[in-house]
């Protein structure tokens, strides 16, 4: 066999391997478990499937920021009488059944699909979509927006929306190729900030379908006057973020060690769960620097608003972001906020006006910013007041939900 024949054979093999996942999807959709299994599932929706203008939001069950955003959109949209929104979670090892139950108890209809394999996710979600026949499928976050859109195409959902929640995702060349192909079958691609939108355009997603809708948060928990007097709050730091490669807890911990050396004493509350490897590294560093009395690991915290309203400073030390909810929450609580100067955070903070931006991956720079806030109380109070006002005017769930509702309504008005 000559060299050209070898190349031709390798080319055929490459084409077969690239098409193999799609072939498996179709085989599983048509040959896997009977439809009865889904219909009898205890995790299926309890509502009638013949409801018109049904919207389904599909997102990770890992309770990341994407999950919180999708949940808030569903809650807000269900006030709209023109359509009904439901939530589908992709089950993860970190999916906490008690948190799922809390969502259900709050009045949101939820179902879970398996997450142990991409094909399992696609198959189960396809069956669910065929059963419920939604008009619009909204797929949140990477890599869920890949598997969700495959299912939406297979189930022939009339309108599909992708929501990108981060400015840096783990796009391999193969996954980026899939995402670009799927964009041809996607009505709109939403970046959760202008920075995320610009990154999507840099990745060559279609400019005519790519828009930005800023994330928002529920402001009600922060409207209480409890601990409203900034100067009477504890001079401590809160970072509410999951432990993951994206977040930079280690730089914050080292910055606290630097503050102690300077004679500037404070305490830090780390609220969030996540990857055990990353949390263990943070705990080891705390022990190494002998900061056990200064740094507190709270784990999952269901009283973050009270925590923020009781302390003066909110920090987000991070490597990259989309539009971080933790900073929005800190601003809404009237904290002085400090964030790493990275894409996604730079859009959130106007430096020296409603917060501080510091050089990323630099304990010394973060320590300088924190020291300025801890020693100059009037400066910190001014930043906190401006941050709270901006959150009230620009960062509400209502504004975010209104924009998604307008987008969905424009799709529903199209002829099928």
Contact (Cβ atoms closer than 8 angstroms) between residue 369 and residue 346: no
Burial class (CB in 10 A: 0-12, 13-18, 19+), 317: buried
The DSSP result for 327-353, as a single string, is: HHHHHHTT-EEEEESSTTTTTT--BTT
Q: What pLDDT, on the 0 to 100 scale, is given for residue 65? A: 84
- Please state which architecture CATH assigns to domain 40-216+398-412: 3-Layer(aba) Sandwich (3.40)
| Domain residue ranges of the chain, discontinuous segments joined by + | 40-216+398-412, 220-395
Q: Which two structure tokens, joined as six digits, stand for 89?
A: 């979670």
Q: Which two structure tokens, joined as six digits, stand for 41?
A: 């599932």
Nearest to 266 by CA among 279, 276, 252, 280: 252
- Whether 40-216+398-412 shares its CATH topology with 220-395 is answered yes
Residues forming a β-bridge with 290: none
Nearest to 252 by CA among 173, 340, 312: 340
Q: Which two structure tokens, joined as six digits, stand for 164?
A: 């990108």
For 242, how many CA atoms within 13 A lie in the half-sphere containing its CB? 18
Is the domain covering 220-395 a CATH 3.10.20.600 domain? no
H-only helix segments in 203-336: 249-261, 276-288, 304-310, 325-332
Q: What pLDDT, on the 0 to 100 scale, is given for residue 231? A: 86
pTM for the whole structure: 0.77
Residue 263 DSSP SS3: coil
* Residue 387, CA distances (Å) to 102, 107, 306, 354, 356 in order: 30, 32, 17, 5, 11
Contact (Cβ atoms closer than 8 angstroms) between residue 249 and residue 233: no
The DSSP result for 127-157, as a single string, is: HHHHHH--SEEEEESTTHHHHHHHHHHHTT-
Specify the residue for token string 């490459």: 14
Whether the CA torsion 366, 372, 378, 379 is positive or negative: it is negative
Q: Report the distance separating Cα 387 and Cα 334, nearest Å.
A: 6
Nearest to 154 by CA among 180, 190, 182: 182
Q: What does the pLDDT profile of the chain (416 residues) look like in tens digits?
A: 555 556 555 555 555 555 555 555 554 444 444 333 333 333 444 444 445 689 999 999 988 889 999 999 999 888 776 778 999 999 998 898 999 999 999 999 999 999 999 999 999 999 999 999 999 999 999 999 999 999 999 999 999 999 999 888 889 999 999 999 999 999 999 999 998 999 999 999 999 999 999 999 989 888 865 556 888 899 999 999 999 999 999 999 999 999 999 999 999 999 998 889 999 999 999 999 999 999 999 999 989 999 999 999 999 999 999 889 999 999 999 999 999 999 889 989 999 999 999 999 999 999 999 999 999 999 999 999 999 999 999 999 999 999 999 999 999 887 54
Q: Report the distance separating Cα 334 and Cα 391, nearest Å.
A: 9
The DSSP result for 149-212, as a single string, is: HHHHHHTT-SEEEEEE--SS----HHHHHHHHHHHTT-SEEEESSHHHHHHHHHTT--TTTEEE
Q: Report the distance separating Cα 43 and Cα 86, nearest Å.
A: 13
| Mode of pairing for the β-strands spanning 356-358 and 136-140 | unpaired
Q: Report the distance separating Cα 126 and Cα 120, nearest Å.
A: 10
Contact (Cβ atoms closer than 8 angstroms) between residue 215 and residue 396: no
Q: What pLDDT, on the 0 to 100 scale, is given for residue 150? A: 97
């Amino acid at each position: 066999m000559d060299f050209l024949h070898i190349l031709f054979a390798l080319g055929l093999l490459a084409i077969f391997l690239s098409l193999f996942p799609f072939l498996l999807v179709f085989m599983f959709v048509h040959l896997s478990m009977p439809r009865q299994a889904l219909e009898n599932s205890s995790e299926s929706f309890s509502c009638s499937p013949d409801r018109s203008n049904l919207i389904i939001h599909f997102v990770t069950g890992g309770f990341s920021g994407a999950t919180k955003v999708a949940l808030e959109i569903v809650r807000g949209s269900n006030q709209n009488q023109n359509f009904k929104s439901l939530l589908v979670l992709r089950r993860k090892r970190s999916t906490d059944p008690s948190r799922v139950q809390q969502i259900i108890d709050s009045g949101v209809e939820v179902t879970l699909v398996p997450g142990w394999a991409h094909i399992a996710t696609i198959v189960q979600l396809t069956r669910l979509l065929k059963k419920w026949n939604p008009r619009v499928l909204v797929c949140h976050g990477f890599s869920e927006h890949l598997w969700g859109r495959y299912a939406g195409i297979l189930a022939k959902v009339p309108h599909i929306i992708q929501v990108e929640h981060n400015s840096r995702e783990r796009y391999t060349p193969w996954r980026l190729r899939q995402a670009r192909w799927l964009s041809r079958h996607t009505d709109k691609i939403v970046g959760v900030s202008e920075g995320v939108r610009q990154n999507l355009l840099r990745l060559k997603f279609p400019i005519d379908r790519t828009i930005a809708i800023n994330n928002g948060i529920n402001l009600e928990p922060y409207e209480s006057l409890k601990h409203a007097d900034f100067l009477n709050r504890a001079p401590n730091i809160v970072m509410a973020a999951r432990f993951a490669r994206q977040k930079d807890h280690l730089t914050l911990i080292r910055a606290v060690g630097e503050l102690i050396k300077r004679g500037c004493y404070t305490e830090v509350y780390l609220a969030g769960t996540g990857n055990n490897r990353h949390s263990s590294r943070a705990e080891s560093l705390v022990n190494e620097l002998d900061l056990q009395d200064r740094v507190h690991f709270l784990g999952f915290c269901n009283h973050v608003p009270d925590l923020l309203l009781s302390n003066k400073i909110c920090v987000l030390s991070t490597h990259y972001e989309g539009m971080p909810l933790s900073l929005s929450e800190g601003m809404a609580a009237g904290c002085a906020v400090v964030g790493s100067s990275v894409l996604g955070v730079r859009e959130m903070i106007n430096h020296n006006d409603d917060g501080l931006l510091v050089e990323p991956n630099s304990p010394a720079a973060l320590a300088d910013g924190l020291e300025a806030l801890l020693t100059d109380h009037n400066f910190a109070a001014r930043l906190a007041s401006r941050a709270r006002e901006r959150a009230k005017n620009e960062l509400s769930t209502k504004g975010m939900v209104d924009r998604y509702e307008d987008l969905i309504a424009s799709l529903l008005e199209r002829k099928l």
